[in-house]
Structure 1
């Protein structure tokens, strides 16, 4: 059916009806699943597998696999977002890609479970990144699709918690499974189960008519001019810098505990720090997201959270001990909870077009993925030759503090 002139299709209309708790819970669970499938491998399994495959060159192999996978995600997230925006399905625009993403991501994890050479590690991780980003692009777009602006801070807080819970669940599965292969299988099974509630009752609106496809315009749509949309440009840049700082600080956490702090059991150490960090995120994300909604302000929360996160990097740099690592996890979690909830709400308010929500959020997600490509290239030589972990964590703090300051350049959001 072609909409009448002047009538905005339901799938593109600005949402006004508050979402229910069970819908939010289903979206959160799907997010937990995909982040568990990413972060369990990144924080534990890929590091151990790299050491098993190339014990004398573990940092290079780990950086190569995660870097190439991140390069795939740089392309996959906006591409699948744009495809999702144009999908005609009786189930809606987002549901088919949530389902396909879960199935394909699980397949990648099963490949990794049997990988004993670098080539298979690359294949499995690239599949996980490809299809995991299809899922993430679709499930992320459901928030501006369905959630009114006045509710986005608190829903953003729950989405923020899903990322942290995903890290906790993924690390727990990877640690408790009893082996590298079993860890991947556990993450894959959890990923498949996590999307079922959303697929069962998504409430996803159908697109009445697919926009005409002009390939040149479609490809040009991935470039969003910062001159025409300056606030979107600043939001992209600051998110990129936040994620560079975060990637530099967390990529080698396993090796930091093993080689710098001297923890005898780095698997358990990563799990303990992740649990502490997660609790601190839980303590700040929902409350500050709701507070941000009530005062209708975003930037002051994001700036403050960035400065707190920068302080955590300084602690890890100057106090490389187990108590120092715990202190750093507490500070980082407290700041990151505020950042994840409020910055996500801010981003949804600077999107250029309702028709292209998933694609535009996919462009934003390049700012999440590209740092994962750059971080290994920056971090590996620093750890090996240019001052080690203290220099790495100080650099992460500087980059994060710069991002916090530049948030003030966004004008259309208070």
Structure 2
């Protein structure tokens, strides 16, 4: 083997090493802005723009149309996110493995949002939203993995707290934009499309990352590539339990938030449900901010993750029970505060936990993409579960009781993870 090839492999191995050098505030800020972009583009349409657009297109079938569109989009996410992650792991660009996917995904996601805005049929909205989901999930693969790539364990929950908080802040900023700053569905989608690209640029342009040497990229074998997406829970039980925990907690979150707009309109009888969603999201995000960073610091300091996940699941289940029992505006405000406090803990600690159960360093983005199926998969399943629950099992009371049970079960199962404290 030539000396140049040996040096290239040694440098590549360093790319795959467990990180030990602390990241700086500027790096965390830029990654957080990119994360804000992707979740603002994800969640604002689901919470506000798609319900408004579909209500105008099909007033009588709005609930079924929303379930169809969001379910198909989530199905695209289930496929694209791990696929983009796997390709990211194999990327040998001189710009690094993650940044090309962040920028390319942002551009593709913005284009998908623009296509969605121009549609006037349920089928057209579904196609546009699926295109947007494909681009945004490629971007998500790029913004999720740098924490495992670059952040040492002593900082991981704290940095995860900042990036996780952007998920909630994305809802607030997106709701402010689409309810107060711009009017109309088209302008809302267009503004989100522009911001998705603009907010991704600081991380892409200001923070170079080491390239993966071509010598360390394995030869492509289609069958082996497809098999790699199955991570055996028998061989990697901690990964399996962490995946199931995340799936159940996110299923509970999806069940509880998918019909929030209609819950405020039909059960609470709030006069302006769009503004109501905004107010609840602000309360939710404020309380998430109060817990995410402090709890992340404590988790990093004591080196414990699982007990905090159990705690957050209990808190979130309490919020769901409150919504199940009281269909009033004050109860909704209180539930938003409790839910935000619990989810803030979850955002910080669970992401740190899953980065500690990844099977191989060279497959970090692919394995995190498989983990992220536990985020997008519930978006496919939740509409199929929520609609019959509302119709046949107690309406919104039944829906939120189911939310509490699923969330609590997810938190309890995290105790089966053995390799993380």
Could you say whether these structures have the same fold, taking a TM-score greater than 0.5 normalized by the shorter chain as the test?
yes
Quote the Cα distance in structure 2 between the aligned partners of 1:357 and 1:29: 22
For residue 183 of structure 1, what is the aligned residue in structure 2? 188
1:133 matched to 2:137: yes
Q: How does 1:324-343 map to 2 (within 5 A)?
A: 324-343=331-350
- Between the two proteins, the alignment pairs up a number of residues equal to 414
- Does structure 1 retain, via aligned residues, the 8 Å contact 2:12–2:212? no
User: CA–CA distance in 2 between the matches of 1:144 and 1:158?
Assistant: 15
Q: Please identify, of 173-182 and 336-345, the stretch whose mean Cα deviation from structure 2 is larger.
A: 173-182
Does residue 94 of structure 1 match 2:98? yes
Asked if 1:35 corresponds to 2:42, the answer is no
**What stretches of structure 1 move > 3 A for 4+ residues in a row?**
1-8
Instruction: Report the CA distance between 1:3 and its aligned residue.
Output: 4.0
Distance 1:165 1:2, change over 3 A: farther
The answer as to 2:270 corresponding to 1:267 is no
Which 10-residue stretch deviates more, 12-21 or 356-365?
A: 12-21
TM-score by length of 1: 0.98
Asked if 1:77 corresponds to 2:85, the answer is no
Checking the alignment, whether the CA contact within 8 Å between 1:248 and 1:396 is kept in structure 2 is: yes
Which of 60, 74, 87 pairs up with 1:56? 60
CA distance in 1: counterparts of 2:207 and 2:355, whole angstroms:
20
Give distance in 1, aligned partners of 2:41 and 2:6: 40
Q: Which residue of 2 aligns with 1:207?
A: 212
Question: Who is 1:380 aligned against?
Answer: 387
How big is the shift at 1:171? Answer: 1.6
Match of 1:285 in 2: 292
TM-score by length of 2: 0.97
2:5 is aligned with 1:2: yes
Separation in 2, partners of 1:7, 1:28: 28
Measured in 2, the distance between the counterparts of 1:318 and 1:35 equals 30
Give per-residue Cα distances to partners, 1:281-313, cap 9 Å, x unaligned. Answer: 000000000000000100000100110001000
- Partner in structure 2 of residue 197 of structure 1: 202
Write the mapping of 1:234-253 to structure 2, written as runs, cut at 5 A.
234-253=241-260
1:256 corresponds to which residue?
263
| Contact 1:302–1:338 (CA under 8 A) maintained in structure 2 | yes
Whole-angstrom CA distance in 2 between matches of 1:71 and 1:254: 22
Per the TM alignment, residue 7 of structure 1 is displaced from its structure 2 partner at its CA by 7.0
Asked whether the equivalents of residues 40 and 173 of structure 1 are also in contact (C-alpha less than 8 Å), the reply is no
Structure 2 gaps, min length 5 = none
**C-alpha distance in 1 between matches for 2:73 and 2:57:** 18
Q: Aligned partners of 1:385 and 1:234: how far apart in 2?
A: 32
Does 2:302 correspond to 1:298?
Answer: no
Cα distance in 1 for residues equivalent to 2:73 and 2:10: 43
The answer as to whether partners of 2:44 and 2:171 remain within 8 angstroms in 1 is yes
Residue 271 of structure 2 aligns to a residue whose secondary structure is coil
Q: Give the secondary-structure state (helix, strand or coil) at the position aligned to 1:355.
A: helix
CA drift of 1:160 comes to 1.1
* Residues 31-90 of structure 1, C-alpha deviations (whole Å, 9 max, x = no match): 000111111101100011111111011000000000000000000000000000001111
How far apart, CA to CA, are the structure 1 residues paired with 2:198 and 2:336? 29
